[in-house]
Structure 1
Amino acid sequence: MTLKCICNICTCGRHYCKHQDCTFIHPGAKTEPVTEYSARYTEHELGKVESFRPKHAPLPDGKMECKSIQREDFQPYQLEKKWVRPQEIWQKPPGTIDNLTSYNITYTGRQSAPVRPIRHDKLTLSVGKFEGEPTYRADYKKWDKIPSKKYGPVYSWSPPTQKLANESTFTRDFKYNYEPPRKSMRPEILSKIEPPLEDKTGYREDYVAHSLPPKVLKEKQTYNLPAVPLDCLTTSRHDYQGQSGPRTLSYKPKLTPVCAQEPFPDMTTFKQDFCEWPTEKRSIRQPTQYVKPPGKVEQDTVHKLTYKEFPVQHTTSYRPKTSHRPLGNIESNTSYNTDYKRFDVPPVRISKKESYAPPEVPFQGISTHQAHFIEHPRTQTKSFKPTSFQRTDEAPLDDSTMYRNEYTPKEVPVCPIIFLNTDKSLYEFEGNSKTGHQLYKPLSSLQSKRAQLVAA
């Protein structure tokens, strides 16, 4: 007879076995985690893999030699000090330095006369007046030009008679110097061309002036109050009258509550499976006490013992000393001090701004929109929905659907886990497995029939 745990007996999929608690694990205990892989995987016995590595035969008794390739082949050599090139001592060259360069040796100065400006001989200018006719005067011929006719509207504008009161900065600071008109080089009277210039165009020949009709102005409509008051009814309120008919039946199956005569047990899985584990007191490690070593510390290092201090010889400079003393008195006269002349510039007078004078007319507070806005009567939108609509058929609305017609209620079986450990149970508790599953043994046929009668 096979044993079943709660995971196999459950039919609703909401009940599982309570596994072992892993919060307190003893050092010698082995834990087997319960997973889907460990529950379904069947363990197979595998043979031990043979190793192809040669086995080490036992060596004869004797001492182990400490020879190595480095110890046998290494030969010590005598070390020599690294050769350092000795530094040559500088010796002053014999003789004196002439301070001659290649430029001073190759360059020889030449005596040359001062450069004089090249001046041309005096030009002889003619005293008489030049008489000549330019090409512009000889070729240019004047003809009578017909004044162009203006076809647009005539604007009569006359300049203002009163002078502008405000004076700008430009008119105050700018002083206009009169410049006489230049003499024109165009001849006053010339021979005219006999055939005048043809200035006729298609627009001037074909243009016909038409009189424009007066502009049509639309009459402004006055606002009239509607005679019928606003009923404040929307299209939904006006047309919707509700549905008349019997109440729809519910095809949902009735839920029959599971009635049990025994009281509801207050024992939970946590209360049943939890067991308190004793804990040991935590050990605190005590720090080791510092013990001063015997003797004194020698602060002598290899550097202090072997290093010898030598006197430092400063490098001597071969550059001659330069004297910064001035040769004479400093002249403070410059071209700016001698040529600059100070002018008496009058201060700029700041004109006083005119004070603001408030208007005598009181402020009305009317905007442009309030002054020019004309309200027009509002036209109500016409509804194209039929006004007289009545249902001729008094039969109720057919609200049947395919789901309601084809739905067949099914009885939900009661999960057998609810009746475990009671008189109605079909299984008997056997024990717990190593992984924490609660195993149950199914009852015999007679006992199961009695349990079914008790449950009914």
Structure 2
Amino acid sequence: MARRKCICEICNCGRHHCPHLPTGLYDRTLQPCLLTEYHDKYPAHGDLKPRDSLKPKYEPLCNRGRMEGTSTFKTDYIPHEITRRQGRLQDEYRPKSGEIDHHTTYKTDYSPHKIKPAESMRPPQSKPGKGGKVDTVPTYKDDYRQWEIPKRKPKIQQGYCPPSARFGNPSTFQDDYGPKRYSLRESFRPPNVPNISDVPFDGLTNHKISYVPHLLGDRYVRPRDEYKSNDKPFEGLTTHRHDYRGTHGDPTKSFKPEQSKLGSDVPFEGSSEFRDRYQPWPVTLPYVHKHPDYVPPDGPMDLNSTSHLDYVGHKVKPPAPFRPASARKVHAPFQGNTTMKDDFKQWDVKKTEMIKRGEEMLIPSAKFDDLTTFKANYVSHPINPTQSFRPTDLPLHSKTPFDAGTLYRIEYTPKKLEICPASYPTPPGYVYENTDSRGHKFFHKVTASEENLTVPNEMHLPKEVAVAS
């Protein structure tokens, strides 16, 4: 059986998809929609349980008894007597008696042999000549003779004299790139003229052709019920008044404490709740390790070291400096003037005066004159409008004609517009099969038996066509 395809899979432009609206109101299959890119790239994994926490559980530490004040080091540490490490005594050197035998294993095992000189394996040199004199002039000396090159005269340095005439040699840019005239290029832009059809508009649409009008019956009008007034008089009681009636009782008393004097005239005994409940208990002092007393060694101290005994002093001359002797000695006094001191003189800066606060405004005793400080002290000044530095908004005209040619017009080749098969009501080459409860329209490819039974599409133009501007 041919594989079914949805509109989402047939579309190649990415703008057509099924509405994904459920058509079955009571469809409770709870099957996931598999027509997504996420389902293909990210497969489902099994149930993974969360990791167990390695954090220790919080348990309150209480009722642990009295703290002894001892640690693991104090309980496990055993003091040992520290003794000085004995040094290794070197044996005294004693020379051996008798003479030293200088014979070695090589001399005893390898006896010398008489060896003749090795004969040469090179064949004897044969002389083809008859003993005549050989011309020892090589080919290089015979063919390549030394030229008689005259001695070059030294060049006389002449002073530079700038030319008085104007430089007339043009550059390579001026020779190759001369001014050219601009010529108008032919415009490939289509004319902006609406395409008007000669066929008269018939006003027919798919809705007018396919829609079948149905006759509607008369609308059912529900008759109104007649109002009937109640014969019983209105009591004016609500459910709350009828069922929940107030009971007679004493008014509520205030729980607010009376405002009496806080305190007592009895003198303070000096005891508190902390002193009564928390009594001091004896605490053992921490163990302190006592260091043994320093005992100085007996006898005088030998201050001679190996360096003092073995080192021999030498008389060494001080190194000569590598700095060259100054050839120029100036005996004139130092002036001490710099460009900074000459150009940047010290300014006479006066000390800023202290800002004093003015006297406060006194309240006048005369009648209010309706004259404010602004009206009395304001001096009007002529307004000078600021000069605008904005350039004038004038079009830039040029005498050269406009070249309307662009790279797009020269190199652009029109391409054929591809129409997405999903833009048709029925994609070409497919036959509608069914629509599932999720709104997916499924199609299958046309077989040889179904090719004669297919109906051509009514709509030959696509719904959406991409237009290149």
> Which one has a bigger Cα radius of gyration?
1
> TM-score per shorter chain, which class?
under 0.3
TM-score of the aligned structures, taking structure 2 as reference length: 0.23
Q: Which has the higher contact order (CA 8 A, sep 6+)?
A: 2
TM-score of the aligned structures, taking structure 1 as reference length: 0.23
